[in-house]
A and B are shown apart, each in its own frame.
Chain A
Amino acid sequence: MKTEFWNGNMAAARAAQRARVQSIAAYPITPQTHTVEYLAKFVADGELHARLTKVESEHSALSACVGASSVGARTFTASCSQGIALMSEVLFFAAGLRLPIVMAVSNRTLSVPVNIWSDHQDTLVNRDTGWIQLYAASVQEVYDLVFTAFKIAENADVLLPVIVAYDGFILSHASEPIVPISQEEADAFMPPPGQGTWPILDPDNPQQFGEVLFPEWYPDFEYKKHQALVGSLGIAAQVWREFGAITGRTLTPIDTWFCEDAELLFVGIGSMMQTTRAAVLGLRARGAKVGLVNIRSFRPFPEQELRQALAGAERVVVLDRDIGYGTTGMVYPDVLRALYALPQRPIALNMIIGTGGKEITPQTIERCFELGLEASGERTVLWPDARGPEEGIPYDESIQLPPAPQPGGCALNGGAG
């Protein structure tokens, strides 16, 4: 196939088209909007034979997807930020009903302060909904992950929905060269849609779904769902190997870079890990023993693979483009779990960077490297690119602060007589 120059949203839409999705319901939200527009155009132009359901909200969008998937359709949606927040209730339904819906998410932070730019807060707060969560680091990966997600999701041993997350604007609106696969290759790789690897609502073969389950039986069901998610790691790896045999592109649950002799290893998810690769190359050229691990599959979490990659490092710096308020970033605890079983545990630090779309540049990563070498490990959560903390950016003390706003009682009291 000819190399295309697509942005991340186009890559997601084209991948869904190649997978021959049959049903799409999505509600537009910045920076995901293109994806829905492109798919609507493909359908209108007759390039894609799918039902595009117009909905009035994200809650309805995912509800419509649940309906479509329940009758056996290959189903796709896209959202981010407040949109996923509004979907939240239905996320659990989709996973609990074991429906293989694929959702592309152009990551955007959550309000307030109002902000349309990228961080991973929107998907990571939904890490415990039962969805598989894959993070793309380039536009090519957006395409490859969205396309392969259908095959992973619909595997009869998985049957779980998948989120493919990619940074808003930085990948959603950035164009890069990408090599799509041909429809012939796609059809040889992917089972035809509507094959019914999962139980469906069918008038000729009536079944009931989503019933009440009493406490005595509930844990059994939860265990099955959990085990399916855990087991999907191996199935994803297998699907990606098959895909790699066609495309020559390697996708794995984690990527390792310069791990063998590294004293300090970065760990993280998303496009910032590509920038980190660039920074690591620069630091290596100056003699620093530094490497990185990119986590592509965050749910299921590749604990064994990660432990193996991190063994031997003296220091581990987990980069989180998100914050679990009151504790740590949301990637960090899982990395700690992987480290815990090591006989010699490294100092493990958590650096919160790039929230609300603050640019992560090689200089940001170099600052994290310096801090990572200096830090004693007593304080684990550091904020190198925020103003305020001692490791962060200093405030300009010469700037005069305006008078503090007056705390108020109830504004309505004034009118009460």
Chain B
Amino acid sequence: MHEIRLVGRGGQGVVTAGELLGRAALSAGWWAQSIPTFGPERRGALSQATLRLDREEILLKCTTAHPDLLLVLDPTIWHQANVFQGLQAGATLVFNTSESPQEVADALADGRYGYQIAPEQYSIYTVDATAIALQELGRPITNTAMMGALVGATGLIEFDAVTTVLDERFGKRAGGNIAAAALARDGLRKLGG
């Protein structure tokens, strides 16, 4: 079973990304479950969702405490909460940031994000999804770009399946979102890669 934690800010589409990725995963034969974490909804405040993928029915009805994949939609979100809590060893971390994977690894090691973790335990990817979103959508809403980044980093879901759900969800506005997802998939940088 894969347990994915998505984090970002209210308004960036964290919950939508979790739901759309789950929908896309169905066509790849996954049993998917997307659980948003809700509080008083506030634009800009921390927003989280859990996405689980398994080959059989998922019994757990709770959010993930030990994700093996972390998708960070906002480059500054760690000021608000420890988004790294409970990560499984060997987890894949995909960051929306203009920084390079090495800069992120250094920041994790020296605790610049407020939480010191050993970067060598993780596969670290970065992509400047905010720049991509501003270019393709004209707004810093990074969820669809980061869906593409997840596909690029993990291959858990086919890109075509993501295209299909974006088409279904956004109709006439799907073009920019699909372009953003493709750019993020292709622009992904891997630590040591």
Chain A positions near chain B (C-beta within 8 angstroms): 3, 5, 7, 31, 116, 137-138, 167, 169-171, 173-177, 271-272, 274-275, 277-278, 281, 359-363
Contact = CB atoms under 8 A, between A and B. Distances in A.
Top 10 A-B residue pairs of the complex, sorted by shortest distance between their CB atoms: A271-B61, A278-B59, A174-B35, A5-B23, A175-B34, A274-B59, A359-B62, A361-B62, A277-B59, A275-B61
Interface in B10-43: 19, 22-23, 26, 31-36, 38, 40
B61 A170 contact: yes
B61 A171 contact: yes
A361 B86 CA distance: 14
B35 A170 contact: yes
Contacts of B59: 274-275, 277-278, 281
B22 A5 contact: yes
B20 to A, nearest CB: 9
Contact of B60 (A31, A173, A175, A278): A278
13 contacts: A138-B61, A167-B61, A169-B35, A169-B36, A170-B61, A174-B34, A175-B22, A175-B33, A176-B32, A177-B31, A274-B61, A275-B59, A278-B59
A5 B40 CA distance: 25
A277 B62 CA distance: 13
A3 B27 CA distance: 9
B63 interface: yes
Most chain A CB within 10 A, of B32, B34, B62, B63, is at B62
A157 to B, nearest CB: 34
A116 to B, nearest CB: 8
A177 B32 contact: yes
Contact of B19 (A5, A277, A359): A5
Given A31-B38, A359-B62, 14 more contacts: A5-B23, A7-B19, A138-B61, A173-B36, A173-B38, A174-B35, A174-B61, A175-B19, A175-B33, A177-B32, A272-B61, A274-B59, A274-B61, A275-B61
A229 to B, nearest CB: 28
Contacts of B40: 116
Given A5-B23, A31-B38, A361-B65, A275 B32 contact: no
A175 B165 CA distance: 14
A169 B40 CA distance: 13
Interface string B63-76: 10100000000000
Interface residues of B, number: 19
Nearest to B20: A5
A5 B26 contact: yes
A353 B60 CA distance: 16
A31 B37 CA distance: 12
Contacts of A169: 35-36, 38
B167 to A, nearest CB: 15
B166 to A, nearest CB: 14
A362 B3 CA distance: 15
Nearest to A354: B62
Given A5-B26, A169-B38, A175-B19, A362 B33 contact: no
Nearest to A168: B38
Contact of A176 (B33, B38, B63): B33
B22 A275 contact: no
Contact of A362 (B31, B32, B36, B60): B60
B144 to A, nearest CB: 17
Contacts of A7: 19
A275 B62 contact: yes
Contacts of A177: 26, 31-32
A281 B38 CA distance: 29
A174 B60 contact: no
Nearest to B63: A359
Nearest to B36: A173
A365 to B, nearest CB: 10
Nearest to B50: A174
Contacts of B19: 5, 7, 175
A175 B36 CA distance: 9
A292 to B, nearest CB: 11
A359 B60 CA distance: 11
Nearest to A139: B33
B33 A360 contact: no
A274 B60 contact: yes
Contacts of B32: 5, 175-177
Contacts of B35: 169-170, 173-174
A22 B59 CA distance: 35
B51 to A, nearest CB: 9
Contacts of B38: 31, 116, 169, 173
> Among the interface residues A3, A5, A274, which one has the most CB atoms of the partner chain B within 10 A?
A5
Contacts of A278: 59-60
A137 B58 CA distance: 12
A274 to B, nearest CB: 5
Given A5-B32, A177-B31, A360 B26 contact: no
Contacts of A116: 38, 40
Contacts of A171: 61
A309 to B, nearest CB: 19
Contacts of B62: 170, 275, 359-361
Nearest to B35: A174
Nearest to B40: A116
